[in-house]
Amino acid sequence: MTTATYTVNGMTCGHCVSSVTEEVGGIPGVSGVRVDLGTGLVTVESDAPVDAALIRNAVVEAGYEVADPS
């Protein structure tokens, strides 16, 4: 199992969490998504690594943005 964590900006409520979870969870190969509203962290679990661009696109589709790594 592979785990990747992303910081998502702009989430402010439970609906935000649901939207991101639904979009990211719909990516082929993703087996689990955990969203922490307080920190903005989104943890993605998959059997094999998932292209970060797919994750970014799903987050954008949900209406938010992935923060650039520092």
> In a 3-state reduction of DSSP, which class is residue 25?
helix
Global pTM reads: 0.93
- Cα gap 7→1, rounded to integer Å: 20
Whole-number pLDDT of residue 68: 82
Count of structural domains, the chain: 1
Domain that holds residue 52: 2-66
Model pLDDT, residue 70: 52
| pLDDT, averaged in runs of 10, over the chain (70 residues) | 96 97 98 97 96 97 88
Bridge partners of residue 65, in order along the sequence: 9
CA distance 50 to 27: 9
